[in-house]
Structure 1
Amino acid sequence: MSEVRLAAEQRTEFGKGAARRTRRAGKIPAVLYGHGSDPKHLALPALEFARVVREHGQNAVLTLDIESSTELALTKTVTTHPIKNYIEHVDLLLVQRGEKVTVEVPIVLTGDAAAATLLTQDLTTIQVEADALNIPEQVEYSIAGLAAGTQVHASDLTLPAGTSLVTDADALVLAVNAAPTAAEMDGDSGEATDAEATEEG
């Protein structure tokens, strides 16, 4: 994952009113914390940051130009408005080059399971530990041709070099089950009807 450079401003006003003014000015309120330092209240350029999230995902690493200093930060939490869908606030974690961080990464399934099966996906993300500058954008797993009865656990996923699994290795990611046939579905309704008839009789 490549670094992205953004110019950030220090915020001196706080509270809901100040946050609204920041957003009206085309910026996003943000807090940078970590490594035992005092939190820094920042304003990020809204359009540029939205593009970063779109292109690099929510684990984007930013090089922040803050007045006369430069900080390396991992995007930790992005809060969006539930209705209007704009970014309301961002939490950033201060990181250093070579540092390992724990992040959530989406699981992307490719291919199609065998015919006449139903797929149940229990996990859509996993937690991994990776170098702050080499966080995988996603972890792919091919379900092509998987037969009924197959179970895939977190330990079955292939992670990029230098990335280790934090999620419980035995955690169930997905299961492939046999799809009920039309005859079985009809049989279920028929059995219910017979039972009802017996009770009535």
Structure 2
Amino acid sequence: MALLQAQERTEEQHSTIRKIREEGNIPAVLYGKNVKSKAIFVNVADFMKTLRENGRNSLITLKVNGEEYSVMLRDIQKDSLRNEIIHADFHAVDMKTEVEVNVDVHLVGEASGVKDGGVLQQSLHQLSIRALPTHIPSSIEVDISNLQVGQTITVADIQTNGEYEINHELTEVIASILPPKQEEEIHSGEQQEPGQPEAMEGRETTPE
């Protein structure tokens, strides 16, 4: 489990929070069952390194004032203009209690249908799952190597090995291979009705 150091914040003034960010830190909050909520901050470089090496849904040991908490990153807030993280929420978890998280879906392999001219379409890029903290996968890999034109992979095809439960209908489509003609229609929009003249661009007609 990755270790991330944090320090407790004693002031909530806007100027104090701004100074924390200017010094290369991210204001955050720690909360959870049987845990007193704490206003904290973490070093932005350490935080990004932890996410990069362990993933968004990983378990983290958060050390605050000498105390260690098993946490998961519940939420982050970003400055949309600068694309910088400006706040983070850490949730202290009970290792014996299931939690719900969203996990990225990664398609692996080259589909046979693509080799035959079909077009791959991924409908679900994330799956909502329920699992014990120790059973949460960093991502869900879906092998599409044998997927032919006209075939689909649905939620029912995912092998969970009993480690987690997927919160989706079993019939929901994750990926499919579209025939080349169908792909062209999607990009070109609605087909023109037969016998109907094309509209002339740049001209307006007025009723007589």
Residue 18, structure 1, aligned to residue 16, structure 2: yes
Partner of 2:45: 47
Partner of 2:94: 96
Does the 8 A contact of 1:58 with 1:78 survive in 2? no
Partner of 1:118: 119
- Tell me the CA shift for residue 10 of structure 1: 0.9
Residue 138, structure 1, aligned to residue 139, structure 2: yes
Partner of 1:152: 153
Partner of 2:79: 81
Partner of 1:8: 6
**Letter of the aligned partner of 1:97 in structure 2?**
M
**Letter of the aligned partner of 1:169 in structure 2?**
L
Distance 1:36 1:25 in 2: 31
- Tell me the CA shift for residue 90 of structure 1: 0.7
Distance 1:160 1:16 in 2: 48
Kindly provide the CA deviation profile for residues 155-200 of structure 1, in whole angstroms up to 9, marking residues without a partner as x: 211225522212332222122221119x99xxxxxx7685428xxx
Q: Structure 1 pair 56/160, CA: closer, same or farther in 2 (3 Å)? A: farther
Distance 2:50 2:104 in 1: 17
**Letter of the aligned partner of 1:170 in structure 2?**
T
Residue 164, structure 1, aligned to residue 165, structure 2: yes
Partner of 1:62: 60
Does the 8 A contact of 1:122 with 1:173 survive in 2? yes
Tell me the TM-score normalised to structure 2 length. 0.80
Range with bigger deviation, 49-58 or 154-163: 154-163
> Equivalent pairs: percent with the same residue?
24
Kindly provide the CA deviation profile for residues 43-98 of structure 1, in whole angstroms up to 9, marking residues without a partner as x: 11211111011111111221111113221111111223223232211111111233
Distance 1:140 1:97 in 2: 24
- Tell me the CA shift for residue 153 of structure 1: 1.5
Residue 129, structure 1, aligned to residue 127, structure 2: no
Does the 8 A contact of 1:98 with 1:133 survive in 2? no
RMSD: 2.9
Range with bigger deviation, 35-44 or 134-143: 35-44
Partner of 1:187: none
Give the unaligned 5+ runs of structure 2. 186-191, 199-208
Q: Structure 1 pair 168/16, CA: closer, same or farther in 2 (3 Å)? A: farther
Distance 1:160 1:87 in 2: 35
Partner of 1:180: 181
Partner of 2:206: none
**Letter of the aligned partner of 1:121 in structure 2?**
Q
- Tell me the CA shift for residue 15 of structure 1: 4.9
- Tell me the CA shift for residue 134 of structure 1: 3.2
Give the unaligned 5+ runs of structure 1. 185-190
Does the 8 A contact of 1:139 with 1:158 survive in 2? no
Q: Structure 1 pair 93/116, CA: closer, same or farther in 2 (3 Å)? A: same
